[in-house]
Every structure is written in structure tokens, then in C-alpha cells.
A and B are shown apart, each in its own frame.
Chain A
Amino acid sequence: MSEVLIDLRRNVVPISVKVVVLALFFLIVATVASFATSVSSAISSAFSEETEVDLFGVVDTLTDPDAFYAFRQSTRSIQQLGAFYDGLNTSDDLTLLSAFDQQIPVQDFRGGDEFDPGYGNELSLTDEYVDATSGSVVEDVRAMQMNRQALEFYDIEVASGTSIDWGTVDYPGGKVPVLLGSAYEGVYQVGERLSGSLYLRPMEFEVVGILRQGSAMFYKGEMNTYLDSAMIVPYPESLTEIGSLDQEFLGILSFAMINADVASGGGTGFDGVADELRQISMRTGFEDYSLIGVPTYLIQFGLMRQLIVDNRGLLVVVLALLAGGVACAGTFVSLHLRARRRPAASVLWTLGWSFPRIVRLQRRLWMVEYVAVGALFALGLPLLPGVGPGAFLATLALMVVWFVVDGLVQHRLLVGAVFAVPGGRS
């Protein structure tokens, strides 16, 4: 035991250098591993095969304000539109992704400027104002209304609370569950209710969940539309079922909902989707629509996924180069330590220590090094961001392999050192 201490005191500097260099290296490995897991999760949620589909847009063709107004006065027309939406929403051949970012006036809003619809874009910030229908002071809040298929397609998940229970979306009763973006953490809690309105209809919004940070969707040509400071309001599951609501509201809501994206997998193509729309149109009687291609989705999809994968590739290459460098540096230090330990080992050999005994001594020294690396690594690990279990295990595995190889190398060097003594025991 005292031999170990003597050696440590003598060689404390090279040993410390080796230990610190290795600990830093493994911390880098853990960091890169955590990034790799983050890439995998991004690709499997937002850039997966299921979401690599052709996207099209459905728009209404009532661009003339008079025609638009006349349409909304007709109960029958609105009912046809509602049936058309329901037909699209329940179709087996295509996935309707309906979303719109209508801002929501909210009473007694506690959040700051970053939730304002004009924040972060060229629009100016809005002030509080008195709401005409309720008479109370309200503030406009950034929001995104969407249907269930959009929520599922873009893999929008909650970090706390629960996701939307679509059975509780009650437009006639004016009570709707909502999700809040991750920036709302600390501003509102799950379970609180916000009083506001949608298209002038008073609503009570109950917060059921807060989104994961970095939740995003494709909206109006931007693949990275982040929802961190938005309120997610669910659309009603069926427009025909709420057909008895007041016409003015129903008309505006229906037109907002029908301007949507359509995802079509399985190579259906533009003509296939147009056919399906035509059939639904004939069944329901609504004809004032148009189908357009949205090529930017797939283009941005492919390029962004490539960028993320390239980024991971870059880090892996850097890590490999670092590993090579650290292996060389470690070997240098081991050689240096061998030179420092050679006199002591040969003296012990001459004094009659058996070879296994010398090896056991050396092994204790190596154990000290490895334990020190492990300890420093454990100290530094909490300072790293989100190293998940997978990343941690991968780093641990690499550490074990590294120590085994290092032990073998040191053993070889030791054999060379001990048996190279001239005039010693044979």
C-alpha cells in the first residue's frame, strides 16, 4: 500500500494530467451522445417517414367580398361547407391538416410581450382594449387553432399535463381545453381557466397541458413555425354537429377551418387527391374550393433533415479526431509514467518481489487512475445538458473499453520495463 502512495506522490503531475484529459474527453463523449439522441428524437418525430408526404392546400375561391358575404348569409350554403369539411376530415384517403393562427383576446392576461401576436415579426405590439361583446378589458394573445389530425401529424406533445381530450371540446357550451406553449411555464398552471373569445364568441379555455420545448409545425410555408409562445386551441371535431350555432360565428369558423393542408401518403399524387375532393364535393354540394400544390413542404423537409443529419455527422467526425488525439496523448503519458516507474519496478524485482506481486502493485496504480477519471466524470456530468440514459450508457461502455485497452497497454509496457533491467534476476 505504501508503495502505491510513494508512486502517486512522485508521479502526481503526469497522473493528474492524464486523469483530467481523460475525464474531459469522456464528458465530451457524453455531450456528443446526448446530441445524437436529440437528433434521433427530432428525426423520428418531425422528420419521420410518416411525415415525409406530399402536401397540398385547400383554399376557398370566394375571394370577392360580396360573394363571400352572400355565401355566409345562406344557412344552406354554410351547412354544405360544414359537410364538405367533415367529409375531408373523416376521409380515409387523405389527412386533413387544418390550422390557423387567429389571435385570441384574453381577459386579465398575465403573460408578457412575448405572447403578443406582433412580437418577433414586423407587426407592432398591440395594447389592451375593451372587448365590445363582453365589455371587459382584454389583450390579444398569439394562438394556433388546429384539428386533431394536425396535432397528431406534427407530433405536438406535452411536457406536463395531458394532451387534448377531443371528447371535451365543447363549442356550443363555450368550454374548450387548450394547450400552452413551453414559454408559458411559470405564467399559467395546468388546470387554470382563461376567459376569452374566438371570432367574437365568448369562450372559456381550460389549460390542460404545457407543450414540450421546441414544438413546431409547418405553417404558411415555414417549416420551423415554433409554438413555444402560442396557445393551441382545438377545432371542433365535426362542423355539422354544431350546425345549430349562430350563423355569423359558424360561417367565419367554417371558412377558417376549410383553408387547410392535405397530406397524402402512398403516392396518391395531385390527381388522386383532386378526385377525392371532387367526390366529397358532389356528395355535399360545396364547390367553391381549389386544390393547390405545396412543394415547399417536401423541399424544406428534405433539406432540413439533411442539415440535422449532417450536423450529427460533423460532431461524430470531431469526436473521432479527438479520440485519436486523446489516445495518442494518453499513450505518451503512459510511456512517460513507465520511464518514471522503471527504476522503482526494477529495484523491487532485484529485491526479490515476484513478478505477479509487481503486477498487482501496478494494477492498483492503474485502478487509482481509472477511479479518479470516473470520479471527475461523475462530478462534471450534472453540468452537462440532458444526458439521457442511452447517452450515459454509451459513454460508460466506451470508458470501460478504453480502460481495458489502457490496462493492456500499460501491462505490456510494464513487462518491457521490468525485464529490461541488465544484470538483474533472470
Chain B
Amino acid sequence: MTVKSRAICALLLLLFSALAATLAIYDSRQRAIHLEGNSLYSADAVLVDATAAQALAVSPDGDLRVFTELTSGGTVRAVAASSSARLSFPVHAGRTFRSGERGVALVGSRVVVSQGATGEFVQLGERSYEVVGRLGLRENSLLANDILVLDPDLFDSGEPQPLVLDGPDAGTRYAGLHGAASVEHFSTATSRRTNIDVVSPLILVLGAALVAMGWVFVGVFLSFATRRRNLVLHLLGVPRSLTRLRLLAEVTAIGIVTAAVVAVVSTFLSKTDVPLDVLGAGLLVQSAVVAGAFLLGAARQGGAGA
């Protein structure tokens, strides 16, 4: 590849990786807004009557969590989750819960905490929980008076109790095992005031299609830009497959570098960590689409001759 082609490839991949990163940051920000407007429940949350263990058992490796109210009025709640669950709640200071933690709490900005040797603590009855973060997108938020503790022991292990089960497809999974009548839907979500719950997934789908088209173009452009050189190499006796493999290896390397650059910049700008598995999956799809488009384009040209 010429330097110019490499540069164009790099720029295009940078551009579409940046668009993909924008969509990913938008998605996480949108989720945070939804959680703040719905008392930390997502749009999939349902009400069930079960023990915490029963509720979480419907998806043992999944991303499920259960809530119970510790006071009437619902501002003090306990949460328990499966060990691999991602508990990303909107915080403006500190951090959210990490998978597998226990005995910690997230509180709103107006909650009074006591200063301890190793940090801040909030007292619930006889137990003391370390405060790891402050709830809400800003200091003045709808969650300013809320307390959320991560403690499975606060759930009654014997008797079924009303619990909120939350996570992707929480309602359908639970209903699948226990019957449709066992789940109740509820919502006091601010998001229902507008059509954002319909708009947001649509934007993500359309945006993903747009980014995919971009990657297709990179592959197509590559096949056009290297046509003459590949033909000459073929005439010189280099096997076509070798030429194509080398090109794809170069493009994949450029792709990894541009993705890394975009990941670093977006982590810096959005102050949130990029989940490595999402990044890896994205790179894989990008490489696959670009390679596919390139090979298709090259095959068309190879068959048609010079």
C-alpha cells in the first residue's frame, strides 16, 4: 500500500471508530439519565414475589439485580446481584459498585454520613456501610436523599417478599420459569414523559448500521486503491492470497492502532472506563466487515482482469 492509501485508511478507520465511540458513550449516558429518572430502575424492571436467591436464579450468569425497600417511601433500599452483574449506577463523585463486592453503599448528596478512618460511612440499624460513591448525575439530583446498600444479608432468605428484579429481559426470563402472572410491571419513570425509550434503541441501531457501512467503504476503497499494485504482484508470480493476506494484516494493524487512540481519547473526554470486552468485540466486527468488503471487491476485480 502506498503511504497515501495507508493514511486514508487510517483516517477513515479513525473517523468511524470515533463515531462508534460516540454512540457507545451516548448509550451509557442515556442509561444513566434513565436510571436517575426512574429511581435507579431500568425499563426492564419488574415486581416479583420471591426470595432474592429464587429471583436471581433465573439467569445465573446474567446481569440481574434485585432491590428491596428497607423503609416505606423507598429512599433506603438494599440491592443484591449475581456475581457477574454490572452494577453501574449514575454517580457524580466516587465510583459505582464493582462486581462481587458487598457491604458498601451509594448515597445521595444530601445524605448525612459519618467520617471514618478509611472513608465515609453510613449507618443502617446496627450495620455500618462504607460509602463508595455519591448518587446522581449532579450534586442536586432526584436521588439526593437515596441510600442504596449492596448487602445480600438484608434479604430475607426464607420467605418470599416483594422484590424488584432488574436487568436485561428480567420480566420475560422470570415469567418463562414461573408463569406470566408472577411478574407485575410498574413504572414511575420520567422517561415515559417523552418517547425516548423508543427513540434511543432506534438511534443505536441506525448509528451501528451507519458505522458498518463506513467499514464496508474502507474495504471497498482498499480494493480499489491497491488494484494495480496487486495485479503487478500477481503478474510477478506472488500468489493472490498472500498479497491479500498481507494487506488485511496491515489494515487490521491500522485498525487496532486507531481503535486504541479513539479508546484513550474517549476515556479521557467522557471520564468513564471503556469495557475491554466491548472494545474487543467491536474490533473483531470491524476487521471482519473490512476484510469481507475488501475480498469481495478484489474478487470482482480479479475475475474481470486488469
Contacts and interface: CB of A to CB of B under 8 A. Distances in A.
A336 B181 contact: no
Contacts of A17: 213, 216-217, 220
Contact of A300 (B142, B181, B186, B187): B142
A425 to B, nearest CB: 27
B199 A13 contact: no
A336 B193 contact: no
B141 interface: yes
B203 A24 contact: no
B207 interface: yes
Interface string B185-220: 111111011111011001100110110011011001
Report the contact-size class of chain A (Cβ under 8 Å from the partner): 35 or more
Contact of A31 (B18, B33, B203): B203
Interface stretch (B21-29, B81-89, B147-155, B284-292): B21-29
A34 B140 contact: no
B214 A13 contact: no
Contacts of A222: 188
Contacts, number: 143
B206 A308 contact: no
Interface stretch (B8-16, B54-62, B241-249, B250-258): B8-16
Contacts of B186: 119-121
A307 B16 contact: no
Given A24-B210, A385-B202, A307 B220 contact: no
A325 B15 CA distance: 6
A25 B210 contact: yes
A307 B142 contact: yes
B30 interface: yes
A390 interface: no
Nearest to B72: A122
B202 A24 contact: no
B213 A24 contact: yes
Given A303-B142, A321-B22, A308 B193 contact: yes
Contact of A314 (B16, B33, B193, B297): B33
A380 B12 CA distance: 26
A224 interface: yes
B23 A318 contact: yes
Contacts of A28: 203, 206-207, 210
A313 B306 CA distance: 52
Nearest to B47: A120
A311 B30 contact: yes
B184 A120 contact: yes
Contact of B217 (A42, A214, A333): A333
B36 interface: yes
Nearest to B20: A325
Nearest to B22: A321
Interface in A227-249: none
A193 B174 CA distance: 37
Contact of A216 (B11, B22, B193): B193
Nearest to B26: A318
Contacts of A303: 140-142
Contacts of A336: 221, 224
A162 B190 CA distance: 27
A232 B275 CA distance: 47
B103 interface: no
B163 to A, nearest CB: 10
Contact of B195 (A38, A225, A340): A38
Nearest to B185: A120
Given A38-B195, A42-B193, A384 B19 contact: no
B176 interface: no
Contacts of A13: 220, 297
A318 B22 CA distance: 7
Contacts of B26: 314-315, 318
A8 B192 CA distance: 46
A332 B203 contact: no
A226 B190 contact: no
Interface string A8-30: 00000110010011001101100
B162 interface: yes
A155 to B, nearest CB: 12
B171 interface: no
Contacts of A223: 190
Given A314-B29, A325-B18, 7 more contacts: A13-B297, A35-B195, A221-B73, A224-B188, A307-B33, A310-B137, A332-B12
Closest 5 CB pairs of A and B: A120-B186, A224-B188, A38-B194, A35-B199, A42-B193
Interface of A: 13-14, 17, 20-21, 24-25, 27-28, 31-32, 34-35, 38-39, 42, 46, 113-114, 119-122, 214, 216, 221-226, 300, 303-304, 307-308, 310-311, 314-315, 318, 321-322, 325-326, 328-329, 332-333, 336, 340, 384-386
23 contacts: A13-B220, A28-B210, A31-B199, A31-B202, A39-B194, A120-B185, A121-B186, A216-B193, A224-B190, A303-B141, A304-B37, A307-B33, A307-B36, A308-B190, A311-B194, A315-B26, A321-B19, A329-B214, A329-B217, A332-B15, A332-B217, A336-B221, A385-B199
